[in-house]
Amino acid sequence: MTRRYYLPNLTTMSGVIELPPDEAAHAVRVMRVNLGDSIELFDGQGHQATAVIAHVAKRQCLCRVESVAMIDREPSARLTMAIALPKPDRAKEMVERLTEIGVHRIEPIVFERTQRAPGDNLIEKLQRVVIEACKQSGRNHLMPISPAVTFGQWITEYRQAEMVDRVAYVAMPSGTPTPIDPIRSDPTTQPECSVVIGPEGGLTESELQDCLDASIAPVDLGKRILRIETAACVIASRILAD
């Protein structure tokens, strides 16, 4: 178990600071930190700091920040996944894995065959999963999860966005396979990549055609039908080589 804690306003703080309630509870009740213990803080925006426990109480944990530095552990490409969220327990596991792999953003999509649209409560819980996955993996940037939108809204915004060197795929079982190569960049660029993964019933013909019209390449992941969360992790791990 890691002694690493999330502090959103890390760069504006100095000296002795108080951990947020959730993080304090984790430090005190789960990790059982003691006076003088060394811990690590991160702010979800790339900054990381070392700190020393200065005071511990039942519901409070104070620590003294010693140094703050920008430590970037992000992949060289920015991968956005426009995806139909699976059931909550499976969605949590998927978000945890995609955070660890280094996906830049998740955009929950409500497709025509989506059985149940994700609510704000689920999105909020998944955002907490992102924090926990960053604590475990050492990632210093939080992976944003956008509010859910319909596929029609998403594809319209996608077409209107002006991006250079953008790559995009749509998962399409039993289709013509398109090779998925790792995306790497030179130090001056950061390629954008989007992946569309539909619900368990798949995309409708009209949704697939919209993707093709927007130059989103179909990809077939093999002979077997993969669940949403499996397909997401397979594609992400192939695209993000670092």
Provide the CATH number for the domain around residue 177: 3.40.1280.10
Residues 168 and 54 in one domain: no
Q: What is the pLDDT of residues 114-164, one digit of tens each?
A: 988 999 999 999 999 999 999 999 999 999 999 999 999 999 999 988 666
Q: 48 or 186, which is more confident?
A: 48
Per-residue pLDDT, 1: 45
**100/50 same-domain check:** no
Determine the structural domain holding residue 231 and report its residue range: 78-239
Quick one: 64 and 83 in the same domain? no
Say yes or no: 11 and 41 in one domain.
Answer: yes
Shared domain for 136 and 100, answered yes or no, is yes
pLDDT digits (tens, 9 = 90+) for 27-66: 988 889 999 999 999 999 999 999 999 999 988 999 999 8
Number of domains the chain is built from: 2
SS (H, E, C) the chain: CCCEEECCCHHHCCCEEECCHHHHHHHHHHCCCCCCCEEEEECCECEEEEEEEEEECCCCEEEEEEEEEECCCCCCCEEEEEECCCCHHHHHHHHHHHHHHCCCEEEEEECCCCCCCCCHHHHHHHHHHHHHHHHHHCCCECCCECCCEEHHHHHHHHHHCCCCCEEEEEECCCCCCCCCCCCCCCCCCCCEEEEEECCCCCCCHHHHHHHHHCCCEEECCCCCCCCHHHHHHHHHHHHCCC
Q: Would you say the pTM of this structure is higher than 0.95?
A: no
Residues 148 and 221 in one domain: yes
Residues 66 and 102 in one domain: no
Do 134 and 196 lie in one domain? The reply is: yes
**Looking at the structure, do residues 192 and 107 belong to the same domain, yes or no?**
yes
Q: What is the CATH number of the domain that holds 24?
A: 2.40.240.20
| 150 and 62 within one domain | no
24 and 89 together in one domain: no
